[in-house]
Amino acid sequence: MQPSRVRRFVLGLAAILSIATDAWCAEQPNIIVIMADDLGNADLGYRGSEIKTPNLDRLATTGARCESFYGMPVCTPARAALMTGRYPIRHGLQTLVIFPSHGYGLPTDERTLPEALKDAGYQTYMVGKWHLGHADRKYWPQNRGFDHFYGNLVGEVDYFAKERGGLVDWQRNGQFFREDGYFTTLIGAEAVKLIEAQDPKTPFFLYFASLAPHSPYQAPQEDIDRYASIQDEKRRVYAAMITALDDQIGRIVSALDAKGLRENTIIVFASDNGGATSSLFATGARSAEDRKESGGVGLGEQPPASNGRFRAGKGSLYEGGIRVPAFVNWPGILKPVVVDEPIHMVDIMPTLLKLAGGKGAEDHPFDGKDVWPTLAAGAPSPHEEILINVEAFRGAIRKGDWKLVRMATFPGKTELYNLADDPGEQKNVADQHPEIVRELNARLVAYALEMKPSEWIRAQPAFLGAQGATLFDPDFDLDDGGLPHEKPLLPVK
């Protein structure tokens, strides 16, 4: 059969499947999205790691494993892509992350995934790390579509104290408080309570936003003791953090089973970006004593994550920074399959809304596509191209097997890789394929002309060097214990 006929056949099959999907979703599925943080591509059991992740392994190998899934280089842009189905260039969030002293957040005119699902009849819950705005409560999860939020607003915090810079960043539905316990265990327990209390007649969306295994590298001693065979201390703790996360995912699946909800629950798993392989992206402390106390990595030291064969890590436009472990599991609906077609974080929202009967915003069109036919029927990726990211000083784009990386700062550099032949991006073939370079560079420039100015770059003149003090809503003040408190109390939805 000719390739064009094969493609038409596959697309026709996908169309039939789409009709079948509508029938499946007469009863709206429950949805759980699990986001790991800074997880190395090679650091799960099913990916060949020595790290024990039996619950994730089971979900991955009985579902659709996405082997060419793209996150973003760092935390905030990845979360913006997930929550809106749009590239972060649309939000001005394409560069680095929201620092504690920054006052901006995900623009409030963006329609979020929980808002769309809530309008479709879902109850919406979030536990864990937000990192899409904290300085004004209009950016908080409770005002972006979540009925319930338990976790922290800023980036990383101490896993036990839930503090950053002496300030407690831990709340439930707008009320900050101190709480003993390990971050990962606490959000797992909260997720289980929400599932146990759920009315089976009402569909729910749970966003489980893990901080693990982001630095600081901290874990309960009993989890660390599981990895006595790992000699490197940071790697040993990092492994314990991932296994602790896996334990909580096991608890969530068990709670679904006990409630009779598992068969009608989609579980989506992905990391926001690749594992940190540079100390600049692993919250480095500068002295040996500070490193011991903080759980960070000193400048010049090697962080514990592994991205396997992929080049570089967090913060990079190379595959190690942006190609992340991901899978979708739905018992009885999705058969075990390995999907090599390119898929992006922006695809999650439009795909889930198609299954749930939700709608996006017409005036804020998706960059993401409905990839359900790709996951369930082996259809080609609906993307003609995937924008990795574009910023004032660099960008990357993928089309088919070709990937262009462009460094725009002087002296500048253009790199072209064939990912089918060279997934480790070791052979720059830009000089051999000038026509492909011209085509992909033109597309990258077109995206650059559409992007909003970077909020991170706009914020930097306000301070140089240090990140500064954490900025919370101006209606908040701090008590003597480092806890934000309101004056006066305003309603938080």
The string of pLDDT tens digits covering residues 290-341 is: 544 568 787 788 999 999 999 999 999 999 999 999 999 999 999 999 999 9
Grade residue 45 by pLDDT with cuts at 50, 70 and 90: very high
pLDDT digits (tens, 9 = 90+) for 264-304: 999 999 999 999 999 888 864 333 445 445 687 877 889 99
- Name residue, tokens 């560079």: 441
Grade residue 437 by pLDDT with cuts at 50, 70 and 90: very high
Pairing of strands 413-418, 402-407: antiparallel
Return the HEC string of 326-344. EEEECCCCCCCEEECCCEE
pLDDT value, residue 6: 43
Grade residue 482 by pLDDT with cuts at 50, 70 and 90: low
Decide if 344 is catalytic: no
Rg (CA), the chain: 22
Instruction: Provide the 3-class DSSP secondary structure of residue 485.
Output: strand
pLDDT digits (tens, 9 = 90+) for 343-369: 999 999 999 999 999 999 999 999 999
Residues whose CB falls within 8 Å of the CB of residue 130, separated by 6 or more in sequence, listed in order: 79, 140, 141, 149, 151, 152, 153, 209
More confident residue, 271 or 463: 271
More confident residue, 288 or 237: 237
* Domain 3-384, classified CATH 3.40.720.10, yes or no: yes
The tokens describing 302, both together, are 């090697």
Q: How far apart are CA 215 and CA 38, in angstroms?
A: 8
Q: What is the CATH number of domain 392-450?
A: 3.30.1120.10
pLDDT value, residue 291: 47
Selection from 327, 364, 349, 390 nearest residue 83 by Cα: 349
Where along the chain do its domains lie? 3-384, 392-450
Q: How far apart are CA 239 and CA 312, in angstroms?
A: 20
102, pLDDT greater than 80: yes
The tokens describing 132, both together, are 């899409």
pLDDT value, residue 295: 80
Grade residue 487 by pLDDT with cuts at 50, 70 and 90: very low
CB atoms within 10 A of CB 356: 22
Selection from 219, 215, 218, 266 nearest residue 59 by Cα: 266
91, 131, 214, 344: the catalytic one is 131
Instruction: Provide the 3-class DSSP secondary structure of residue 91.
Output: coil
Grade residue 79 by pLDDT with cuts at 50, 70 and 90: very high
pTM here? 0.91
Q: Helices (H), strands (E): how many in the chain?
A: 13, 20
Decide if 383 is catalytic: no
pLDDT value, residue 460: 82
* pLDDT mean over 233-262: 98
151 torsion bin: left (phi>0), alpha (psi -120 to 50), beta (else):
left
DSSP 171: E
